Structure 1
Amino acid sequence: DLLGPFPLLLVLLGSWGPVHPLGAWAQPQTRAQWFAIQHISTGPVQCNMAMRRVNNYNQRCKPQNTFLHDTFQNVAATCLLPNRTCRNGQNNCHQSANIIGMTYCSHTGGTYPNCRYSTTPQNQFYTVACNPPQPGDPPYPLVPVHLD
């Protein structure tokens, strides 16, 4: 037996299947989870740092993004306010009851993964599109899925 235990080792290694990059295991499963990653930050952000997490999912520099300085729970409560028409014509949008702090990020240069952004603090109302929760979402009547 020239190879000793090596044929068994090769069989075991070959049965593992394809190797996935680390980010592939952490993909958000629902639109609400993706909304939280893209748009929720409980405080002000520095865009060059904050956008890394957003950009890692699609492996590109997102041209612009807004982070709401609030909790997911509070933004989900906005979904219970009166409906209004979204920019795409659908009627599942809701405007916040109050002005909140937010950070607007705009891509200024660089290519993925070295994207560079300007950081602009803002205070204003926001509008979100909401849908019923999917399995894995918090048990709210409606959850935010898009920042309009």
Structure 2
Amino acid sequence: MMLDLLGPFPLLLLLLGSWGPVHPLGDWAQPSATVRTFQIKHLREHRVQCNREMRRVNILDQRCKDQNTFLYDSLHNVAATCLLPSMRCRNRTQMNCHQSESPINMTYCNLTGGRFPNCRYSTALQYRFYVVACNPRLPRDPPYPLVPVHLDL
């Protein structure tokens, strides 16, 4: 009886409900874990205070990271660095590193004490080139041919 009151709408509701949620930006709206981790660990839009920002980084591994650098740049610009000539990474085995075209502002955080989750850091502003390791994109990554996966300062 209730279905009669709704007329043709139950079929429409059933069809709409079967589609599931669709993100308006497509599959890459939520990048792969590797790219997302890189963003959390290293990319910020503006100047940071290390004690606060490192909480987000440290929660990933449940420990106080000894040091970390935050680049004041976008994923788009860092991914463009991936298209510059490749060079050997610091580990001497990989050749997927790329140096930035110009220096940028960044913050270097150095562990000074505390225990997880109450880690304490010093904050040092820097203006320098950076080196990033890049890999081919995965299906869920932003639409760049190569994406940053590691900061290789």
Question: Alpha-carbon deviations, 1:35-82, whole Å to 9, x = none?
Answer: 111000111100000000001111110000000000011000000000
- For residues 62 and 116 of structure 1, the distance between their equivalents in structure 2, rounded to whole angstroms, comes to 10
Q: Over residues 93-137 of structure 1, what are the superposed CA-to-partner deviations in whole Å (9 max), with x where a residue is unaligned?
A: 000001100000000000011000000000000000000111321
TM-score by length of 1: 0.79
Q: Does 1:62 align with 2:65?
A: yes
**Match in the other structure for 1:6:** none
Q: 1:135 aligned to 2:139?
A: yes
Q: Secondary structure at the match of 2:83?
A: coil
- Contact (CA 8 Å) 2:32, 2:138: kept in 1 or not? no
* C-alpha contact 1:30 1:134 (8 A) present in aligned 2: no
**Which residue, 19, 33, 37 being the options, matches 1:34?**
37
User: Alignment partner for residue 144 of structure 1, among 119, 144, 148?
Assistant: 148
The structure with the greater share of residues assigned to strand is 2
* 2:124 maps to which of 120, 126, 129: 120
C-alpha RMSD of matched pairs (Å): 1.1
Listed as ranges, the gaps of 5+ residues in structure 2 are 1-30
What is the aligned length? 121
What is residue 53 of structure 1 aligned with on the other side?
56
Superposed counterparts of 1:62-141, under 5 Å: 62-89=65-92, 90-141=94-145
CA contact (8 A) 1:84 1:93 kept: yes
**For 1:110 and 1:80, how far apart are their aligned partners in 2?**
39
Whole-angstrom distance in 2 between the partners of 1:58 and 1:135: 25
- Identity across matched positions, percent: 64
Q: Which whole-Å CA distance do the structure 1 matches of 2:151 and 2:54 have between them? A: 16
Structure 2-normalised TM-score? 0.77
Shift of 1:33: 1.3
